[in-house]
Amino acid sequence: MSDIIKPSILPGFMELLPEDQIVFNQLKSIIEETFKKYCFLPIDTPVIEKGEILFAKGGGETQKQIYKIDKGEKNMALRFDLTVPLARYVAMHSNEINFPFRRYHIGKVYRGERNQKGRFREFYQCDIDIIGNETLSLYNDAEIPAVIYEIFQRINFSDVTIHMSNRKLINGIIESIGIDNSEDALRAIDKLAKIGRENVVEELASINIDGDQAEKLLNIISFEGSNEETFKHIKSMTVTNDNFREGLAELELVYDYMKKFGIPDTNIKIDLKITRGLDYYTGTVYETFLNGYESIGSVCSGGRYENLASNFTTKRLPGIGLSIGLTRLYYQLNEIEAFKNFCDDVPKTSLILPMSGYEDQGIELINELRKEGVVAHIYLEPGKIKKKFSFADNLKFRYVVIIGEDEVAEGNFTLKDMMTGEQQKISKKDLTQLLK
Amino acid sequence: MSDIIKPSILPGFMELLPEDQIVFNQLKSIIEETFKKYCFLPIDTPVIEKGEILFAKGGGETQKQIYKIDKGEKNMALRFDLTVPLARYVAMHSNEINFPFRRYHIGKVYRGERNQKGRFREFYQCDIDIIGNETLSLYNDAEIPAVIYEIFQRINFSDVTIHMSNRKLINGIIESIGIDNSEDALRAIDKLAKIGRENVVEELASINIDGDQAEKLLNIISFEGSNEETFKHIKSMTVTNDNFREGLAELELVYDYMKKFGIPDTNIKIDLKITRGLDYYTGTVYETFLNGYESIGSVCSGGRYENLASNFTTKRLPGIGLSIGLTRLYYQLNEIEAFKNFCDDVPKTSLILPMSGYEDQGIELINELRKEGVVAHIYLEPGKIKKKFSFADNLKFRYVVIIGEDEVAEGNFTLKDMMTGEQQKISKKDLTQLLK
């Protein structure tokens, strides 16, 4: 009994009080409802995967962050994203699922990152992907951001900008400048917003891209203007390679259809600086920023990959996906106090409060209310009335219903509106009507 | 590219195809909605806890099954239930939460159990608990099973029996027979249903409980009759110790109020064989069985504990809780084909199917439908009409809406009801009305 262990959690893990958890869950639920509205199907894969699956790609920063399981001689680890499990799932069940396969997945992933404010080692990802069998039309690249746009609309934060580019196009531009190691160049320019132009030039120099080439490349991708002007700027280049031509055609089509899918032009930005550092993207790439809070970084990113599951199957499975880092998004929206208008934190619920000796009448009432689907709580602990009302206050019940001697004699209830402080006698019928 | 890794998951982990996942999620959602209706508040704790928290209790079968994390020198492991994290949470946040604290928690837990059919190493638990500060009234012991009863009603499986007993009562009986090691005796009789009377007698003998005592005990607890008869049977015993008297009074009160909370007497069974092997229960104990499928075992168990968090705080925190093993419940209900009436697996959703060249009109239509909140899918992949219809068939869309040359000329749509095979021309207004 004397050996009390101080209760605590590991650093880098998020844990909320119930009132905040309710807001978090509302955000999660809006995301899920929107995914379902667009006919994405749910999957839920094990958090623990075989090591050979998670390490299939080899190398990489993320893989160093993997949490391994220490149990017997088994080779097990916690997933670090939902994309590798998707690749494994689609390859494993390819004969049982229908292509194009639209799936959503909301689940926790694990990364042993360096500890820093606003970064979490356990976090929810909310992913949508559409996987084709051999081919997948470009319309999908346009529809997926429409889902994201609707989510931000629903949480009253439609002031977002979806930045978009195309990997083939940028590769074509890099090629035209005479740079061969386009992967490394992409990784360097992906850091532009974070580390600034000078440092990118330095990094490009370190991979043998000379100053002239670097300047030329950075001038092209840093172009600022309306989407129309950006397309004019791109088309004014005298580049003729296949990558450039294909990439430009894809970007134009996807941009065009994003607008047709209902995303306003003001919420889209053709932005050649967006490359997505990860090397598996091969076409469309997106990043989403909250206007006025660009320093937070992208809250939703993704893109097109030509072959999802090459480690697990010989089938060619092209796909397009977008991912919201929910835990981080919640943290960020909370920091900028964006939930004030989003969620009504006074639940419309009521507390039934029988006086001592009138518990049975209280239970009778709550049974009837619950039969009508009313969300209600009955307080049956002994104690002073003051204590009971402070419970109602603390838990922010909207209404308190009192049952005691008078009420039973008169055959009614006393209803207190905790927001206005008003108190009135009310019949059971009217009460049920009010709370329903 | 030639190094294909066979895609597979670890044994003992459940993974479903999307059509089954939808049913699973519906079950989960009904449970969550019912928890919320009874004003339980959500919490979501990290899956990884500090080792010192999970191993605080020491010893025990479950603790041998813990998955430890192998990362640096940190002492981390995966939670094996939601009760230890609750104890840690309540102790850690005791100044920020309101008592009695009603929380629900739905999350995955991990146990490295021996591999066997229908048992899972990763599974969802759905827990509700009410935690008092110093005291907690017995009314809570009666209300909690009402939540469970409502859940089974909602999934069209109200044919359940909540078996109930009281630990104090059974301890009083054991004491009256002259047995001292009541913990061990409880653990033995808990196995009665599983291993049979003879084996229990043998196990009791092995802990120095002689044949007479064992027979006496087993005769008492094996009594079969209506609840009224069982209470008569208990009261006919000439036992006078405190445990017996208190336990009986508690059991009667909880039983009485369970009925007042709306659980029919036919769904309650006072059953002295129910002891719950876990040693932390101190009063009310429950197990829930599906009538006709008792061999499956309890689908929802729990009880009263006098002090939840003694490892983490000097505060006395009594509580009452119930837990549904969701993954196992889903598996079992699926095995007995209980979902047939529960869930309509034909979604009421529709597929918009534009002919080649009419994609834009299809997108225009789906935008308008989605604005009205309609759940719909647009198929924009190239290919033969037959392939498109087989996609609609496979994904069980209820309606297919065709847009082509004729439809655009006539200003309407062709609607095919996939259930009846009927096809008709329909105006946009009527279509929206139908699908809303």
Q: What is the pLDDT of residues A350-406, one digit of tens each?
A: 999 999 999 999 999 999 999 999 999 999 999 999 999 999 999 989 999 999 999
Chain A closest-CA separation from residue B283 CA (Å) = 18
Look up the ipTM and state it.
0.94
Mean pLDDT calculated for residue range B55-81: 83
Sign, CA torsion A146/A149/A150/A151? positive
Q: Which pLDDT does position B177 carry in this prediction?
A: 92
Q: Is the pLDDT of residue B283 over 80?
A: yes
CA–CA separation, A425 vs A409, rounded Å? Answer: 12
Q: Which residue of A has its CA nearest to B134?
A: A381
Q: Determine the Cα–Cα distance for residues A101 and B243; give it in Å rounded to an integer.
A: 61
pLDDT digit string, tens, across residues B407-416 = 999 999 999 9
- Residue B346's pLDDT band (cuts 50, 70, 90): very low
Instruction: Give the strands of the sheet with A48-50, arranged side by side.
Output: A48-50, A76-78, A68-70, B68-70, B76-78, B48-50
Interface membership of A18 toward B (CB under 8 Å):
yes
Average confidence (pLDDT) over A85-106 = 97
B 169-208: CB under 8 A from A? none
Inter-chain contact B376–A262, Cβ cutoff 8 Å?
A: no
Distance of alpha carbon A376 from alpha carbon A390, whole angstroms? 17
Cα separation, A394 vs A397, whole angstroms: 8
* Token pair belonging to B370: 């989605």
**3-class SS string, B293-343:** CHHHCCCEEEEEECCCCCCCCCCCCCEEEEEEEHHHHHHHHHHCCCCCCCC
Distance, first Cα to last Cα, chain B: 48
CB B312 within 8 A of CB A4: yes
Mean pLDDT of B167-171: 95
Cα nearest neighbour of A44 on chain B:
B15
Express each pLDDT in B72-83 by its tens digit. Answer: 767 899 999 999
Asked if B5's CB is within 8 angstroms of A53's CB, the reply is: yes
Asked if the C-beta of A49 comes within 8 angstroms of chain B's C-beta atoms, the answer is yes
Contact A7, B310 (CB under 8 A): no
What distance in Å separates residue B172's CA from the closest CA in chain A? 25
Q: How far apart are CA B175 and CA B167, in angstroms?
A: 12
Residue of A103, A367, A382 with shortest CB distance to B137:
A382
Highest mean pLDDT among A54-68, A402-416, B196-210: A402-416
B344 CA to chain A: closest CA distance, Å? 16
Listed range (A17-26, A184-193, A237-246) with the worst mean pLDDT: A184-193
- Express as a percent the part of chain B with pLDDT over 90: 80
Contact map slice: B 249-268 vs A, CB within 8 A:
257, 260-262
Q: What is the chain B residue with the closest CA to A147? A: B370
B78 to chain A: which residues are within 8 Å by CB?
69
Nearest Cβ partner for B69 among A70, A364, A375 = A70
Is the predicted pLDDT of residue B347 greater than 60, yes or no? no
Closest-CA distance of chain A to residue B139, Å: 7
pLDDT at B1: 47
- pLDDT at B330 > cutoff 60: yes
> Of A70-79, A125-134, A212-221, A374-383, which range is least confident?
A70-79
Helix axes A167-176, A242-260, angle to 10 degrees: 150
A98 in contact with B at a CB cutoff of 8 Å?
A: yes
Q: What is the pLDDT of residues A301-341, one digit of tens each?
A: 999 999 999 999 999 999 999 999 999 999 999 998 887 75
- C-alpha Rg value of chain A to the nearest Å: 28
> Is B291 part of the contact surface with chain A (CB cutoff 8 Å)?
no
Burial label for A126, CB within 10 Å (0-12, 13-18, 19+), is buried
Q: What is the DSSP string of A179-210?
A: -S-HHHHHHHHTTHHHH-HHHHHHHHHHTT--
Task: Tell me the torsion sign for CA atoms B285, B290, B291, B297.
Answer: negative
B93 vs B114: CA distance, rounded Å: 36
DSSP string of A360-411, one letter each residue: HHHHHHHHHHHHTT--EEE----S-HHHHHHHHHHTT-SEEEEESHHHHHHT
Q: For all residues of chain A together, what is the average pLDDT?
A: 92
Query: Residue B17: pLDDT above 80?
Result: yes
User: Where do we find the tokens 């084909």?
Assistant: B337
Dihedrals φ, ψ of B38, to 5°?
-90, 20
Q: Is the pLDDT of residue A346 over 50?
A: no
B220 vs chain A: nearest CA distance in angstroms?
33
Q: Is B79 on the interface with A (CB under 8 A)?
A: no
Residue with tokens 């970064």: A119
Q: Which residues contact A433 (CB under 8 A, 6 or more apart)?
A: none
Smallest CA–CA distance from A14 into chain B, residue: B46
Residues 333..352 of B with a Cβ closer than 8 Å to A: which? 349
Cβ distance A376 to B39 less than 8 Å, yes or no, reads yes
Region A11-19 average pLDDT: 95
Query: Any idea what DSSP says for residue B34?
Result: H
Q: A46 and B14: CB-CB below 8 Å? A: yes
Whether A380 and B7 lie within 8 Å, measured CB to CB:
no
Place of tokens 């697996």: B345
User: Is B381 in the A-facing interface, judged by CB distances under 8 Å?
Assistant: yes
Which is more confidently placed, A194 or B138? B138
pTM above 0.90, yes or no: yes
Decide if A48 and B363 are in contact by the 8 Å CB cutoff. Answer: no
Provide the shortest C-alpha distance from residue A215 to chain B (in Å).
36
Position B426, amino acid:
I
What is the distance in angstroms between the Cα of A291 and the nearest Cα belonging to chain B?
A: 24
Q: Cβ atoms within 10 A of the Cβ of A170, count?
A: 26
* Structure confidence at residue A341 (pLDDT): 59
Chains A, B: CB pairs < 8 Å: 242
> What is the structure's pLDDT at A344?
53
Q: Hey, is the C-beta of A67 within 8 angstroms of any chain B C-beta?
A: yes
Strand order in the sheet with B399-403: B376-378, B350-354, B399-403, B413-417, B423-426
Q: What is the pLDDT of residue B400?
A: 96
Q: Which residues of B touch A67 (CB under 8 A)?
A: 48, 69-71, 76
Residue type, position A243, single letter: N
At residue B186, the pLDDT reads: 86
Among A70, A260, A381, select the one facing B70 at the smallest CB separation. A70
B55 contact residues in A (CB cutoff 8 A):
none
**Residue pLDDT, tens place only, B106-119:** 999 999 988 888 88
Residues B403 and B415: their CA atoms lie apart, in Å, by 9
Contact B46 A14 (CB under 8 A): yes
Range in A190-204, A409-423, B10-24, B417-431 with the lowest mean pLDDT: A190-204
For A278, counting Cβ atoms within 10 Å of its Cβ (0-12 exposed, 13-18 middle, 19+ buried), the class is middle
Nearest chain B Cα distance for residue A198, angstroms: 36
Tokens of B63: 């603790």
Please determine, for residue A153, whether its predicted confidence score (pLDDT) is greater than 70: yes
Q: Is the dihedral of CA B388, B393, B395, B397 positive or negative?
A: positive
**Cβ–Cβ of B18/A42 closer than 8 Å?**
yes
Beta-strand relationship, B68-70 and A68-70: antiparallel
Considering only CA atoms, which of B152, B165, B114 is closest in space to residue B300?
B152
pLDDT value at position A392? 93
Backbone region of residue A305 per phi and psi (left: phi > 0; alpha: psi in -120 to 50; beta: other values): beta
Nearest chain B residue to A112 by CA: give it.
B71
